[in-house]
C-alpha cells in the first residue's frame, strides 16, 4: 500500500526542427512509463512522490527550456472526483480489474 | 492522497503477446495494442494458456520481484516465476526451527484451523441471513462448527488438528449446498478434477487465492514452501496453503456463492472435458476474474490492527503477523477472522 497522487502533465514541444520532433517523442515515451495519454499532449498519471520527482527530472532533462513548455499539475485529491470529462475518453483506471 | 494496492493483470486471450515497452507492460492481440500499463501499477501478471510472455518482461519482473503465474487455458496452476531468493535468511531459519518444535507447530496448526472454522461458520451464517429464513441444516452445521472450534484447541497432535479440519470441511461443504440457489446442483466437494460447475468455480478461486498467498509470503520474506499444517512436499507451497485456509471461505466461497446466486454465472458457462473435468468458458472466467479483483478491493476492518484495509491486503498483513510469531516476537499467531 502506497501513498499516491494524481497528476496532469501537459507540454508544448516546438517541432519545427528534426531535433524538436525527437524531443516530442521522448517526452511522450517517458510520460507513457508513468501514466497514460488522455489528449494529444496531456498525460494523467497516478504516482508516488518519488515517482513524481523522477518523472519531472527526466522530462526537464529532455525539453529545451528556450523553445518548449512543460506544466505539471498536482491534483489535491481523487481524480474521479476532480476531473470532469466530455467527449472522447480513453482513460483506463489502472486500479480496476485488468483483464485481457 | 489515495492508497493503492498493486494491481494484477490477467491475460486470458489466447494468442496474446505481452511484452515490456519502456517502463510499461503492453498486451497485444493480433498485433493490436489492447492495453498498456505502467509497471508501477502492477504487482504481477497472471496468464492463461497460450499467451506469449517476452523474455525481457520475464527478466524484468524477476529482478523487480513482481510475480508471473501461469495457468493452463482451463485454469489449472502450471507454474510461477521465481526471482532471486529474497527476504531474510534469519526469518527463513526461524521457519525451520519452528518446524522442528512440535509445540509451536501445533499452536500454528490449531490457530490456522480455528480461523478457518470460524470464518466458514460466519459464511454460513451470513448466507442464512441473506436467505431471510430458517434453515435448520445450516443452523445445525454452524453449531457443529462452533463445537469444532473449541475441540481444535484441545487437539494434542498435528494429526488430531487435521482430523478436526477434515470433519469441519465435511460439515461446512454439506451445508454450503443449501445456500446455492438457481439451477446448480451441489453434491460434494470434488477436485482434481472438479466434476461439476460449483466445484470448478471453487477450484479456480482457490488457485487464485493460493497464488496471492504465495505472493504474500514472498512479500514478508517467508519461504512459501515451509508450512506447518500442510506437510512438506516438493514443489508444494505449504506455507501459502496454510495461510490460505483462513481466507478460503471469506474470499473464495462467498464470491462463488454471490456469482451463482446473482446468476452472473450460469450452468451454460461451463464445458465438460473428456474424463469428466468441468471447466469455465472464457467469458465466464472474465466475469469471475473481474469479480475477484473487485472483491479484493472491498474494505474490511482488521480486528488486530483496528484499521480499514482492502481485503486483498489481509493475506499480506497475516503473512507479516506470521513472520512475527516465527521470529518469536509474539507468543501467539492470531488468524484473521471476520466479525
The answer to whether residue A1 scores a pLDDT higher than 50 is no
pLDDT (tens digit per residue) in B63-75: 888 888 888 877 6
Q: Is B239 left (phi over 0), alpha (psi -120 to 50) or beta?
A: alpha
pLDDT of residue B282: 82
pLDDT of residue B181: 80
Which residues are bridge partners to A46 per DSSP? Answer: A6
The answer to whether residue A27 scores a pLDDT higher than 60 is yes
Burial of B191 (0-12, 13-18, 19+ CB in 10 A): exposed
- Does residue A30 contact residue A58 with C-beta atoms inside 8 Å? yes
Q: Chain B residues contacting A, CB < 8 Å?
A: 1-5, 7-13, 16, 21-24, 27, 29, 34-41, 286, 289-290, 292-294, 297, 309, 313
The answer to whether residue B186 scores a pLDDT higher than 60 is yes
**B127, B123, B167: which is closest to B147 by C-alpha?**
B167
Instruction: Answer yes or no: do A97 and B40 touch at CB < 8 A.
Output: no
pLDDT (tens digit per residue) in B270-297: 878 877 788 888 888 888 988 988 888 7
pLDDT of residue B44: 87
**B296, B274, B290, B295: which is closest to B74 by C-alpha?**
B274
DSSP state of B101: -
Angle A39-A42-A43 from CA coordinates, rounded to 5°: 105
**Distance in angstroms (rounded) separating the CA atoms of residues B280 and B302:** 33
The answer to whether residue B85 scores a pLDDT higher than 70 is no
- From B64-73, B74-83, B248-257, the region with the lowest mean pLDDT: B74-83
- Does residue B94 contact residue B299 with C-beta atoms inside 8 Å? no
Q: What is the mean pLDDT of residues B181-197?
A: 77
The answer to whether residue B202 scores a pLDDT higher than 80 is yes
pLDDT (tens digit per residue) in A38-81: 999 999 999 999 999 999 999 999 999 899 999 999 999 888 88
Top pLDDT among B22 and B76 is at: B22
The answer to whether residue A20 scores a pLDDT higher than 50 is yes
B122 CA: distance to closest CA in chain A (Å): 27
A36 CA: distance to closest CA in chain B (Å): 8
pLDDT of residue B87: 64
Pairing of β B7-11 and β A98-99: parallel
> Model confidence at B145, in pLDDT bands (50, 70, 90)?
confident
User: Measured between CB atoms, does A23 come within 8 Å of chain B?
Assistant: no
pLDDT of residue A51: 92
The neighbour count for residue B276, using CB atoms within 10 Å, is 11
**B165, B12, B292, B219: which is closest to A97 by C-alpha?**
B292
Give Cα B54 to chain centroid, integer Å.
27
Q: Which residues, at least 6 apart from A69, have a Cβ–Cβ distance to it below 8 Å?
A: A11, A12, A63
Q: What is the mean pLDDT of residues B315-330?
A: 85
Residues of A in contact with B3 (CB under 8 A): 1-4
**Distance in angstroms (rounded) separating the CA atoms of residues B237 and A62:** 47
Residues of A in contact with B38 (CB under 8 A): 32-36, 45, 94
> Model confidence at B5, in pLDDT bands (50, 70, 90)?
low
- From B72-81, B135-144, B308-317, the region with the lowest mean pLDDT: B72-81
Q: Which residues, at least 6 apart from B73, have a Cβ–Cβ distance to it below 8 Å?
A: B12, B14, B48, B49, B50
Print burial letters for A9-44: b (CB count within 10 Å at least 16), e (below 16): bebebbeeeeebeebbebbeebbbbbbbbbeebebb
The answer to whether residue B3 scores a pLDDT higher than 70 is no
**C-alpha torsion B227→B231→B234→B240, nearest 10:** -30
Instruction: Answer yes or no: do A4 and B22 touch at CB < 8 A.
Output: no
Give the Å distances, CA to CA, from B266 to B7, B197, B258, B280, B292: 27, 9, 12, 10, 17
User: Measured between CB atoms, does A12 come within 8 Å of chain B?
Assistant: no
pLDDT of residue A2: 58
pLDDT of residue B256: 92
Model ipTM? 0.80
B116 CA: distance to closest CA in chain A (Å): 26
**Distance in angstroms (rounded) separating the CA atoms of residues B35 and A38:** 14
DSSP state of B6: P
Q: Percent of chain B, pLDDT > 70?
A: 96
Q: How many residues does chain B have?
A: 339
The answer to whether residue B20 scores a pLDDT higher than 70 is yes
**Cell matching residue B257:** 456463492
**Distance in angstroms (rounded) separating the CA atoms of residues A83 and A80:** 6
Which residues are bridge partners to A70 per DSSP? Answer: A11
Q: Searching chain A, which residue's CA lies closest to the CA of residue B296?
A: A97
Half-sphere exposure in the Cβ direction for B319 (13 Å, CA): 27
Give Cα A6 to chain centroid, integer Å.
10
pLDDT of residue A71: 95
The answer to whether residue B1 scores a pLDDT higher than 60 is no
**C-alpha torsion A90→A95→A97→A99, nearest 10:** 60
* R_g of chain B computed on alpha carbons: 20
> Model confidence at B109, in pLDDT bands (50, 70, 90)?
very high
**Distance in angstroms (rounded) separating the CA atoms of residues B103 and B156:** 9
Q: Percent of chain B, pLDDT > 90?
A: 27
Amino acid at each position: 500500500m502506497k501513498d499516491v497522487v494524481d497528476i496532469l502533465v501537459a507540454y508544448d514541444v516546438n517541432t519545427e526542427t528534426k531535433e524538436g520532433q525527437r524531443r516530442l517523442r521522448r517526452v511522450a515515451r517517458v510520460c507513457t512509463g508513468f501514466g497514460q495519454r488522455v489528449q494529444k499532449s496531456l498525460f494523467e498519471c497516478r504516482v508516488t512522490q518519488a515517482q513524481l520527482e523522477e518523472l519531472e527530472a527526466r522530462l526537464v532533462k529532455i525539453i529545451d527550456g528556450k523553445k518548449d513548455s512543460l506544466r505539471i499539475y498536482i491534483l489535491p485529491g481523487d481524480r474521479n472526483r476532480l476531473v470532469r470529462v466530455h467527449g472522447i475518453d480513453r482513460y483506463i483506471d489502472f486500479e480496476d480489474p485488468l483483464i485481457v | 492522497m489515495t492508497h493503492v494496492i498493486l494491481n494484477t493483470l490477467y491475460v486470458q486471450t489466447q494468442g496474446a503477446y505481452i511484452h515490456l515497452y519502456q517502463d510499461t507492460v503492453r498486451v497485444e492481440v493480433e498485433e493490436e495494442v489492447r492495453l498498456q500499463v505502467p509497471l508501477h501499477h502492477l504487482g504481477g501478471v497472471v496468464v492463461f494458456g497460450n499467451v506469449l510472455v517476452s523474455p525481457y518482461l520475464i527478466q524484468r519482473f524477476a529482478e523487480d520481484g513482481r510475480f508471473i503465474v501461469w495457468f493452463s487455458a482451463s485454469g489449472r496452476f502450471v507454474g510461477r516465476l521465481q526471482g532471486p531468493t529474497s527476504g531474510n535468511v534469519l526469518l527463513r531459519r526461524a521457519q525451520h526451527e519452528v518446524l522442528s518444535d512440535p509445540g509451536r507447530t501445533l499452536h500454528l496448526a490449531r490457530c490456522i484451523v480455528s480461523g478457518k472454522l470460524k470464518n466458514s461458520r460466519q459464511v454460513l451464517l451470513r448466507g442464512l441471513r441473506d436467505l431471510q429464513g430458517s434453515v435448520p441444516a445450516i443452523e445445525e452445521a454452524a453449531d457443529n462448527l462452533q463445537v469444532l472450534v473449541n475441540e481444535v484447541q484441545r487437539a494434542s497432535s498435528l494429526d488430531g488438528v487435521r482430523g478436526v479440519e477434515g470433519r469441519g470441511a465435511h460439515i461446512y461443504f454439506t451445508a454450503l449446498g443449501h445456500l446455492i440457489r438457481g439451477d446448480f446442483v451441489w453434491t460434494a466437494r470434488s477436485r482434481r478434477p472438479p466434476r461439476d460447475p460449483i466445484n470448478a468455480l471453487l477450484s479456480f478461486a482457490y488457485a487464485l487465492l493460493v497464488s496471492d498467498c504465495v505472493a504474500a509470503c514472498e512479500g514478508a520474506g517467508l519461504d512459501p514452501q515451509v508450512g506447518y499444517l500442510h506437510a512438506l512436499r516438493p514443489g508444494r507451497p505449504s506455507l501459502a496453503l496454510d495461510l490460505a485456509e483462513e481466507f478460503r471461505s471469506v474470499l473464495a466461497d462467498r464470491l462463488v456463492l454471490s456469482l451463482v446466486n446473482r446468476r452472473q454465472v450460469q450452468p451454460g458457462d461451463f464445458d465438460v472435458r473428456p474424463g469428466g473435468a468441468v471447466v469455465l468458458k472464457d467469458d465466464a472466467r472474465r466475469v469471475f476474474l473481474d469479480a475477484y479483483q473487485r472483491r479484493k478491493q472491498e474494505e474490511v476492518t482488521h480486528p488486530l490492527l483496528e484499521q480499514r484495509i482492502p481485503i486483498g491486503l489481509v493475506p499480506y498483513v497475516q503473512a507479516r503477523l506470521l513472520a512475527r510469531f516465527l521470529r518469536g516476537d509474539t507468543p501467539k499467531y492470531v488468524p484473521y477472522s471476520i466479525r
